[in-house]
Amino acid sequence: MTIQGIIVINLIGLMLLLWILNLVRRDRLYVGFGVILVLTILGVMFIVSIPALLTFVTRLVGAVFPASALTLLALGFIVFLLVYILTQLTLVANRLAALVQELALQQAKQEVERELGRTDDQL
């Protein structure tokens, strides 16, 4: 990879890091997602900045060109992140279902108590 390519990738990485940190700071991005993204961006910047490490990763994944090796790593990361996000989404959905059920039970109990109260007063 050329020096210009390394500089461009590192500048993009720095801008993404600042954006992610700002989103986490303003509570617009979950901290867990922010940590994963920050570590991934720093890892890519580190791999791209050291030519010997980039060559090692390229040979490790069996790619011919460094760009295809980074693309393969990016696709693996996307799959990992999708599984993580869907896991978190499932946890939120389960909590919401339990909360709605509890709320429905409380409302049903209040309605029964109101009906029993009306029946007792009418007698």
pLDDT digits (tens), the chain, 123 positions: 789 989 999 999 999 999 999 999 999 988 988 998 999 999 999 999 998 998 888 888 888 888 888 888 888 889 888 888 888 899 999 999 999 999 999 999 999 989 888 765 555
| Cα distances (Å, whole numbers) of residue 72 to 9, 62, 65, 78 | 17, 10, 11, 10
If you count DSSP H runs as helices and E runs as strands, how many of each does the chain have, helices first?
4, 0
Taking the C-alpha atoms of residue 123 and residue 106, their distance in angstroms, rounded to an integer, is 26
Question: Phi-psi bin for 62: left (phi > 0), alpha (psi -120 to 50), beta?
Answer: left
Instruction: State the pTM of this model.
Output: 0.69
